[in-house]
């Protein structure tokens, strides 16, 4: 039996992107399967804690040292049962959000291509556009129309609310204009 665990790395920020205020920098991964997801993976629950397993995956996929960026129970966002025919051994999904500084995000991005799984499981990292442009669709709503692995899209939305980066109302209005609106 095992579970899967993933983690959203983010930094609060005052920066602007092409003139739009962005309250945070949030990193997501382009996976080998063409879908967007978070750092993390399958945890061998007999051998490692959920936090340690996600830390190991963050090292493999992002090159970040779990001794420098330890995950704690306080970073936990949600857990849920998981059923998937191709991964029958995985019974649960755990999701965390780890806050770092803006300078640390830059350092993580600079170092990410040295990660052992870069160019294999991981094809790159992207910053999520968190603003909506004046046409009402481009920016965050358009980003939500990408293809996400598993329930990573829902995990992104819930973590943005839980970390105070966006309000429930801001999320709801972006989801409403997204073409592949699911909720």
Give me the residues paired with residue 93 across strands.
4, 80
Question: Could you write out the three-class secondary structure of 49-66?
Answer: CHHHHHHHHHHHHHCCCC
- Confirm if 168 and 161 have CB atoms less than 8 A apart: yes
Give me the residues paired with residue 2 across strands.
90
The whole-angstrom separation of Cα 171 and Cα 160 is 8
Q: Does position 5 bind ligand GTP by CB under 6 A?
A: no
The whole-angstrom separation of Cα 102 and Cα 15 is 10
Residue appearing with tokens 């989801």: 175
Residue 86 has a CB neighbour count (10 Å cut-off) of 5
Q: Does position 41 bind ligand GTP by CB under 6 A?
A: yes
Nearer to ligand GTP, 112 or 152 (CB): 152
Q: Does position 152 bind ligand GTP by CB under 6 A?
A: yes
**Binding partner selected for residue 66 from Mn ion, ligand GTP, none, CB under the kind-specific 5 to 8 Å limit:** none
Q: Which secondary-structure segment (H or E) carries 90?
A: strand 90-99
Q: Does position 41 bind Mn ion by CB under 5 A?
A: yes
Q: x/- site string to Mn ion, residues 55 to 94, per CB under 5 A?
A: --x-------------------------------------
CB of 133 to ligand GTP, least distance (A): 26
Nearer to ligand GTP, 42 or 133 (CB): 42
Q: Considering only residues 30, 150, 161, 173, which one is a binding residue for ligand GTP as defined by CB under 6 A?
A: 150
The residues that touch Mn ion, with contacts defined as CB under 5 A, are 41-42, 57
The residues that touch ligand GTP, with contacts defined as CB under 6 A, are 4, 6, 37-38, 40-42, 57, 84, 87, 93, 121, 149-152, 155
């Amino acid at each position: 039996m095992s579970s899967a665990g993933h983690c959203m790395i983010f930094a609060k920020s005052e920066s602007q992107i092409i003139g739009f205020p962005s309250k945070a920098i949030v990193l997501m991964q382009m996976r080998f399967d063409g879908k967007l997801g978070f750092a993390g993976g399958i945890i061998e629950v007999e051998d490692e804690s959920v936090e340690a397993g996600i830390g190991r995956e963050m090292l493999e996929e992002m090159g970040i040292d779990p001794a420098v960026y330890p995950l704690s129970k306080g970073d936990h966002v949600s857990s849920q049962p998981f059923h998937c025919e191709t991964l029958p051994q995985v019974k649960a999904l755990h999701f965390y959000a780890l806050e770092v500084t803006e300078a640390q995000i830059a350092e993580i991005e600079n170092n990410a291509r040295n990660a052992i799984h870069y160019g294999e499981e991981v094809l790159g990292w992207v910053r999520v556009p968190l603003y909506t442009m004046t046409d009402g669709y481009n920016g965050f709503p358009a980003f939500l129309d990408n293809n996400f692995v598993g329930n990573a899209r829902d995990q992104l939305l819930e973590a943005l609310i839980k970390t105070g980066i966006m309000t429930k109302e801001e999320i709801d209005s972006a989801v409403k204009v997204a073409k592949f609106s699911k909720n």
